[in-house]
């Protein structure tokens, strides 16, 4: 049976080997891409990439983009708070100075 130290040494060795192989394959892929771009006269504007095209980017469901919560509380300086998450410092300070949360409610 192998010891933990031996297993960790093998992991480190394999990770170093992975870096070398990745660098070699990257160079080969880049050379092939450049060859194809030249052969077919592909312009940079013809290439479209998104962040999700990368295999290094984790794919998953993000929060609901595009829908912002409406501001429920606002002070005279224009600071706003949706009522979600921690109270902002400006609101906490105002409440500590004696004001009520309802004083900042947006009509």
**pLDDT for residue 25:** 95
DSSP assignment string, 33-50? HHHHHHHTT--GGG----
**70 Cβ contact list (under 8 Å, min separation 6):** 82, 106
DSSP label of 77: T
pLDDT digits (tens, 9 = 90+) for 65-93: 678 889 999 999 999 999 999 999 999 99
**Nearest-angstrom CA–CA distance, 85 and 64:** 16
**Nearest-angstrom CA–CA distance, 49 and 37:** 15
**pLDDT for residue 107:** 80
**pLDDT for residue 48:** 82
**pLDDT for residue 60:** 61
pLDDT digits (tens, 9 = 90+) for 21-65: 999 999 999 999 999 999 999 888 888 877 665 666 566 666 656
Tell me how many domains the chain contains.
2
**pLDDT for residue 59:** 60
The answer as to whether 33 is a domain residue is yes
Q: Residue 12: give the domain boundaries.
A: 4-46
The answer as to whether 96 is a domain residue is yes
């Amino acid at each position: 049976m192998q010891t933990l130290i031996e297993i960790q040494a093998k992991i480190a060795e394999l990770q170093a080997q992975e870096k070398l192989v990745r660098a070699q394959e990257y160079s080969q892929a880049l050379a092939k891409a450049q060859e194809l771009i030249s052969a077919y006269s592909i312009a940079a504007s013809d290439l479209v990439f998104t962040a999700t095209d990368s295999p290094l980017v984790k794919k998953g469901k993000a929060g609901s983009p595009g829908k912002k919560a409406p501001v429920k509380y606002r002070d005279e300086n224009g600071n706003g708070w949706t009522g979600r998450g921690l109270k902002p410092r400006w609101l906490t300070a105002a409440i500590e100075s004696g004001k009520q949360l309802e004083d900042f409610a947006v009509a």
